[in-house]
Homo-oligomer: A and B are copies of this chain.
Amino acid sequence: MQQLRGNLHLLKKLNQTRILDFIRKQGPVSKADIAEGIQLTFMAVSKLINELNEIGILRVQGVGKSSGGRKPILYDLNPDALYVIAIDLSSEDIKLELVNFHTELIAQRHIPAPPDKEPASYIKIIAESVRQMVADAKIDDTKLIGIGVSAPGPINTHSGEVLFPPNLPKWEIVPLQHLLQEALNIPVKVEKNANLSALGEKWFGVGSDVDNIIYVLLGDGIGGGIIIDGVLYKGNQFGAGEIGHVTIDHNGPRCNCGNYGCLEAMASSIAVVKRIQKELLLNGGKSHSYPANEQVNITAVMKALSHQDELTVRVIEEASYLLGIGLIGIINSFNPQKVIIGGNLPQAYPKMVEIAASVAKTRVIPVFRDKLNIVPAALGERSAIAGAAALILEEIFTLHLT
């Protein structure tokens, strides 16, 4: 392949991606619509469309209504033109999805994580499952353009290495991209789950109408993904988005990261669990929702929450308040169009987002108040895997000049 230069190839590629992205967003459209929509001459569009149609990337999707002239021929992405595999792996399980060019789900698998949690075992299981899934779906495997992988961070996106993920102690430096690429012979891209959740919501969820997004992933820890001008912002060492580690009380409790009073140490689901444990101890361990002989963990908390256990609700609402406090600084610094909040806790208890939003709304810089938009994630647990698919599809629909 040639190197990326400021040449005619680039120009063509630019216009191609602009056309494809326009079609993706607008559905079946005519050449004239496209020319109008992306400000290119009709002829340039016509030529490119004909080419894309001949290759099979596009297909004719009937004719549209005339508004006083020849009926327009409508073009659409050919769903069978390309396929993408998305993978979401965690310490507990592995999720796989096969997605077509229309971003429709063709097949999916859920597999428990290998008991030994060794990287090699993960790779083996993934490779097998992918091969099976592709075979079962009877896909022409030359049409598989890539695999997007969501993994627990930190990740060096450039080298495709996962670096000492806290939840997978046996993983040290794992060249995940390289290993999967070798095993399956398909291009692989790896990105951390919080970032891909953000990307997923941008492509398929509540972020589709905006370009500057902060995604907050409130799980065991609190992570985040930042999208600026429609593009993931990764930061200097691929570490951007660690919004769990903003200080909201510099005299607060110690956090795993070494700092004191981090948002994560006070409002993550682990912090909530700890808090409940502590209060139970103070109360002498008496509670209907938390039998003395059972462990207090996130599952138990979720269960108690479903019964609206008073203690649980109170602790979570306190966490919601603190989340709101943490968001203030982030909103004032970034001035995003939308803040999207996902993760197990807010999903189980939607009021969490409401509370955080109302706290943030009363305390954020007045000018930002009116247009402040704090919303729950739309895709739930699928955000990350949807983002993994988007990570690959992005290559076709957007051109990054760098």
Residues of A in contact with B (beta carbons under 8 Å apart):
3-8, 10-11, 14-15, 18, 38-41, 44, 154, 212, 224, 226, 228-229, 233-251, 257-260, 322, 325-326, 328-330, 332-337, 362-368, 371, 401-402
Given contacts A6-B40, A39-B5, A228-B233, contact A247 B365 (CB under 8 A): no
Chain B nearest CB: distance from A152 CB in Å?
14
CA distance A67 to B217 in the complex (A): 56
Copies held by the complex: 2
Contact B250 A249 (CB under 8 A): yes
* Interface pair A236/B336, CB less than 8 Å apart: yes
User: Of B237, B240, B325, which one neighbours A333 at CB under 8 angstroms?
Assistant: B240
CB atoms of B18 and A240 under 8 A apart: no
- Rounded to whole Å, the gap between the CB of A10 and the closest CB of chain B is 7
Residues of chain B within 8 A of A337, CB atoms compared? 236
Instruction: Give chain B residues whose Cβ lies under 8 Å from the Cβ of A14.
Output: 6
Assess whether A245 is in contact with B6, with CB atoms less than 8 Å apart. no
Q: Which of B5, B249, B335, B364 contacts A259 (CB 8 A)?
A: B364
19 example contacts (A-B, Cβ-Cβ < 8 A) are as follows A6-B40, A7-B11, A228-B228, A236-B335, A236-B336, A236-B337, A237-B367, A237-B368, A242-B333, A245-B329, A246-B246, A248-B250, A249-B251, A250-B322, A257-B366, A258-B362, A259-B365, A260-B363, A333-B334
**10 cross-chain pairs, A with B, having the tightest CB-CB distances, nearest first:** A235-B335, A246-B329, A239-B335, A245-B332, A259-B363, A240-B335, A242-B332, A236-B337, A250-B325, A6-B15
Cα–Cα distance between A251 and B325 once the two chains are bound (Å) = 10
Beyond A5-B39, A329-B245, whether A239 also contacts B367 by CB under 8 A is yes
A371 touches B40 (CB 8 A): no
Cα A158 to Cα B305 with chains together (Å): 47
Smallest Cβ-Cβ distance to A12: which chain B residue: B6
Q: Name the B residues within 8 Å of A326 (CB-CB).
A: 247
Residues on B with C-beta less than 8 A from A333 are 224, 226, 240-243, 246, 330, 333-334
Q: A237-B335, A363-B260 are in contact. Are A246 and B39 (CB under 8 A)?
A: no
Shortest CB-to-CB span from A207 to chain B, Å, is: 13
Determine the distance from Cα of A29 to Cα of B363 in the docked complex, in whole angstroms: 53
The listed residue with most B CB atoms (<10 A of its CB), out of A226, A248, A251, A329, is A329
